[in-house]
Amino acid sequence: MSSKLIIALDFPTAEQALQFVKPLSPEQCKLKVGFELYVAAGPDFVRRLVDQGFDVFLDLKFHDIPNTVASACRAAAKLGVWMMNVHAFGGEAMLLAAQDAVNTATHAPKLIAVTVLTSMDKNQLNSIGLNIDPAVQVQRLAQLTQRCGLDGIVCSAQEAKGLRQQLGQNFLLVTPGIRPLGTDKGDQSRVMTPEKAVLAGVSYMVVGRPITQAANAQKIIEQIYNC
């Protein structure tokens, strides 16, 4: 069984992240490198994880003019990452350019798009001129992403069931905000347990603090692996 677990390596330094990764195996989980660690540790750190056999999700959420995003995607693909992402808000031309760039890579990573950030509620969308319910905007951007040929989206697990029905079995739904029973919610508001997320049809679950700050990380990793 391939693991649905992606651990968010939200550490401030490469040393701390490597210390955490040491007991892990690529069969148990994939690893996500986001802004904090990428800015601190850079591409060499990403290559190091790839060389250790890990599937790496480079979570840099590119959002710029099509040419710039395509160039960034090409550079990221050269690192050997398994998956990376862009913002669907960048629009059709940007999504198509990103996918084209990925398609020409020797080892094409999966490309997914962030729809609406889970930190954006109706008021926040309104304040940037979008008088629309976030769930409707998520659907709209998910459909656009699929039309542009990308592999999937980042979304909330609470939206996964409906999106799975609309978008079919092969479209990747990658969901943060996962909280095993008994773990702290932290700043996430719309959370779901791994068991429920799997039932809702998510493809991969991104889990950070419930694992990285756990007294016994292996126990939580196994719990998620087995659900």
Among 52, 96, 209, 223, interactor with ligand C5P by CB under 6 A? 209
CB of 212 to ligand C5P, least distance (A): 7
Pairing of strands 110-114, 152-154: parallel
For ligand C5P, the closer CB: 119 or 170: 119
122 binds ligand C5P (CB under 6 A): no
3-state secondary structure the chain: CCCCEEEECCCCCHHHHHHHHCCCCCCCCEEEECHHHHHHHHHHHHHHHHHCCCCEEEEEEECCCHHHHHHHHHHHHHCCCCEEEEEHHHCHHHHHHHHHHHHCCCCCCEEEEECCCCCCCHHHHHHCCCCCCHHHHHHHHHHHHHHCCCCEEECCHHHHHHHHHHHCCCCEEEECCECCCCCCCCCCCCCECHHHHHHHCCCEEEECHHHHCCCCHHHHHHHHHCC
10 binds ligand C5P (CB under 6 A): yes
Contact segment (CB under 6 A) with ligand C5P among 75-83, 99-107, 160-168, 203-211 equals 203-211
Binding mask 154-193 for ligand C5P (x = CB under 6 A): x---------------------xx--------x-x-----
Among 8, 29, 69, 142, interactor with ligand C5P by CB under 6 A? 8
Contact segment (CB under 6 A) with ligand C5P among 62-70, 98-106, 137-145, 201-209 equals 201-209
Number of residues that bind ligand C5P (CB under 6 A): 15
For ligand C5P, the closer CB: 117 or 136: 117
Residue nearest to ligand C5P (CB): 208
Q: Which residues bind ligand C5P (CB under 6 A)?
A: 8, 10, 34, 117-118, 154, 176-177, 186, 188, 206-210
